[in-house]
Amino acid sequence: MEEIENILENKLVRPTAMRMLVYQYFMGQDAAVSLTHVENAFDKADRTTLYRTLKVFEEKGVVHQIDDGTGTKKYALCEPGCNCELEQDLHLHFHCARCNETVCLTEHKIPHINLPEGFVAEDANVVLKGLCDKCSEK
Amino acid sequence: MEEIENILENKLVRPTAMRMLVYQYFMGQDAAVSLTHVENAFDKADRTTLYRTLKVFEEKGVVHQIDDGTGTKKYALCEPGCNCELEQDLHLHFHCARCNETVCLTEHKIPHINLPEGFVAEDANVVLKGLCDKCSEK
DNA sequence: AATAGCCATGCAACGGAAGTGCATTTATTT
DNA sequence: AAATAAATGCACTTCCGTTGCATGGCTATT
């Protein structure tokens, strides 16, 4: 818990009790989580607070947002040293059509893409869809 | 207009007046359009009808859906011969942060990606974000 | 230690977009 | 022309994201 406090402070996020708990929750997840997920995990806390917590986390580079095509935004912890830079930090995501989970493929960075003249890319969202390792076994 | 009728019939979509008009509208666009866009273009038609038109178009491979991260689903005409197959038909998309338009980069197919053991990809959504050619000039 | 001010939290409400059930109209088939 | 099927229109719901405002707690400054 001390550790979490340090991480948040390093990211210039004031380590309130709530924020530390949310961070801890993120650490226990291996799939990306939505606001609703967090909400269910913290019955007592208000939706808005959690919403803003996620927003602050995203702005300060604690988590990154993933748009997996389900219509619900998901979030996952950034890797240590991540700066959310295209081609350096940004990685692929995988959404499983069966279990509906979205996971980070942190080993798979986004390959360089030659864009047409005039296009300047600064961010990217890459989601592959199909069956994940757990679901394809069955 | 005759041509549109043929295209729809080839895709096994019954060419009603409404559907042909919507298809025509799509042809006149160079950016991806949302349901709201179509709605505004056809004041007289009901939202639900347009909604279901887009749904049928998507199911029958007339258009493909793009999730550009704005929270609003967008649609664009499929290329001739498109089967919406990964690595053959699927291409990149670009969302401009300034003009808020999303365009297809049909020349840029999705590169092959080696997934971890057990993952089976069947679909993909790739969106690059930044400034488009029109907006980066200024 | 008291006070002022800032930031986080909680409550209520709004708005956009997607989606569904059912009635009605239009088209197709026999 | 009747029977069937498909498309359209209307009303309503739900989900998610978001914002405004009031309250509470921590910090800093004196």
- Please write the tens of the pLDDT for every residue from A46-57: 999 999 999 999
How many domains does chain B fold into? 1
Structure tokens at A1: 């818990």
Q: What is the CATH number of the domain that holds B25?
A: 1.10.10.10
H helices, E strands: number in chain A: 5, 6
* Cβ atoms B109, B38 nearer than 8 A: no
CB B121 within 8 A of CB B86: yes
Q: Does A109 contact chain B (CB < 8 Å)?
A: no
Indicate if the pLDDT at residue A138 is higher than 80: no
Q: How many CA atoms lie within 13 A of B87 on its CB side?
A: 8
Question: Which strands make up the sheet holding A63-67, listed edge to edge?
Answer: A33-34, A73-77, A63-67
Strand D nucleotides, any atom under 7 Å from protein beta carbons: they are: 6-11, 15-20
Low-confidence ranges of chain B (pLDDT < 70): 138
Q: What is the pLDDT of residue A9?
A: 94
Q: How far is CA A16 from CA A54, A129, B18, in A?
A: 13, 36, 56
pLDDT for the residue B137: 82
* Residue to test with chain A: of B66, B67, B104, B119, most A Cβ within 10 A: B119
Q: Which residue is nearest to nucleotide C9 (CA to C1')?
A: A49
A75-115 pLDDT tens trace = 999 999 999 988 899 999 999 999 999 999 999 999 888 89
Query: Is residue A123's pLDDT more than 90?
Result: yes
Name the pLDDT band for A58 (thresholds 50, 70, 90).
very high
Alpha-carbon gap: B54 to the closest alpha carbon of chain A (Å):
17
Structural domain for B106, as ranges: 2-136
Q: Note the pLDDT of residue B41.
A: 96
Q: Is A69 on the interface with B (CB under 8 A)?
A: yes
What residues of chain B lie within 8 A of the CB of A133, using their CB? Answer: 116-119
User: Each residue of A33-46: pLDDT tens digit?
Assistant: 999 999 999 999 99
CA-to-C1' span, A20 to C12 (A): 27
In angstroms, the CA A35 to CA A73 distance is 8
Q: Please give the full DSSP string across A63-94, using - where no structure is assigned.
A: EEEEE-SSSSEEEEEPPTT----TTTT-EEEE
B36 touches strand C (CB under 7 A): yes
Percent helix / strand / coil, chain A, rounded to 5:
30, 30, 40
Using pLDDT thresholds of 50, 70 and 90, give the confidence band for residue A128. very high
A81 and chain B in contact, CB less than 8 A:
no
* Interface contact A131-B119, CB threshold 8 A: yes
